[in-house]
Structure 1
Amino acid sequence: MKLKISESHVARWREDLHKAGRREIGGVLFGEQIAEGEFRLIEATRQRFGGGGAVRFHRRGRPAKKQIEALHAAHGHRPERFNYLGEWHSHPNAPAIPSARDEATMHQLLADQAGAVNFLVLVIVRLSKESVLELSAATYLASGHRLPCRIVIDALSADPPSFDSSEHEL
């Protein structure tokens, strides 16, 4: 699987990570399928209230669901093209790789979907001491397997119209 992420999304993550300091932050990923196994990140929302401590990010389910529904509405309810891709969060105090808890959470999110989706992506972001953005991505399958997800920073693509997550409490 390949996930294209615009430079502006990278810049927003970098800014949010600076503001969050040593506290974990995160949100949901919403994307567009542009080819078989290839997706473009449309929106990486940010949970605004609660959820983050120094070593753990707790996703608030109901607000995340509302946000996903709002993103579907904003993109014409065309899930075959625009859909929830998964989750992202930061690891300010650990490497930008999924922890055992992250893995268990992704498998549980897939189980909670009851077959509605057959994969979810997890992106982990982190700022190095030099303020370089480090990121990794993995694809979790409903079968229980985990596959690599290649990230491509796309300098040429224009971001789609922004979704104002402040209108939808997280």
Structure 2
Amino acid sequence: MTDTVPASIIVATSVVDTIAHEAQASRDGTETGGILLGTTEGNSLVIRHAGGPGRHATRRATFFQRDLNHAQALGDQAFERDRSVWVGEWHTHLAAPAVPSSRDIATYQKLLADPELDFDFFVAIILADPTNNWTQPQTATWFITPSETRVIITNGHT
């Protein structure tokens, strides 16, 4: 992907809108999510696109797995449009805080270790709403490298 770690992450308004809309599906009591696509510009990572789960996603109360074919199609379209590539994922937690679970961290580390994917870092946006109304969920953006997992934005604040 890139040889440097970005100094900042910029999230497009359309990404925030897509995630907010798609997260409403968690009102049914299951997690949902999708991929994040973007480009590196100078010292910044610009997240330009967010996808939904896809028709064949696995959605459970404590687990989400995206529809791989859907994610690939979104990735192909974004690359054609503006050279955006897969930079991370977003997903919901129903009752847990907006913190990566041990399963989440294991998944991110597995992706980072895959030489075919060529990730230097991974971005995860997690939304959690124990009230299940999904109008103002807790949100956190996480930056993951092989050696660290750290929050960079919580509910819009660094």
Same fold (TM over 0.5): yes
Preserved CA contact (<8 Å) 1:28 1:44? yes
Which position in structure 2 is the counterpart of 1:11?
A: 17
Q: In the alignment, is residue 136 of structure 1 matched against residue 140 of structure 2? A: yes
Flag structure 2 segments of 5+ consecutive residues without an equivalent: 1-6
TM-score (norm 1): 0.72
Shift of 1:60: 3.4
Aligned residues of 1:17 and 1:126 also touching (Cα < 8 A): no
| Distance of 1:108 and 1:137 partners within structure 2 | 19
CA distance in 2 between counterparts of 1:100 and 1:57 reads 14
**Residues in 1 aligned to 2:117 and 2:47: alpha-carbon distance in whole angstroms:** 22
- 1:25, distance to aligned residue in structure 2 (A): 0.6
Letter in 2 for 1:4: I
Measure the CA separation in 1 of the matches of 2:148 and 2:102.
Answer: 14
Q: What corresponds to 2:148 in structure 1?
A: 145
Question: Structure 1 stretches of 5 or more lacking a match?
Answer: 154-170
Q: Is the 8 A contact 2:36 2:89 kept in 1?
A: yes
* Residue of structure 1 in register with 2:81 after alignment: 74
Percent identity for Structure 1 against Structure 2: 23
Say whether the 8 Å CA contact 1:14–1:127 is kept in structure 2: no
Structure 1 residues 108 and 62 mapped into 2: Cα distance closer, same or farther (>3 Å)?
A: farther
How many residue pairs are counted as aligned between the two chains? 146
Q: Which amino acid aligns with 1:16?
A: E
SS at match of 1:149: strand
Say which structure, 1 or 2, has more relative contact order (CA 8 Å, 6+ apart): 1
Q: How much has 1:23 moved relative to structure 2? A: 1.4
Q: Residue by residue, what CA displacement relative to the aligned partner does 1:111-169 show, whole Å, maximum 9, x if unpaired? A: 2244622111111113453631321122222x34324334795xxxxxxxxxxxxxxxx
SS across alignment from 2:108:
helix
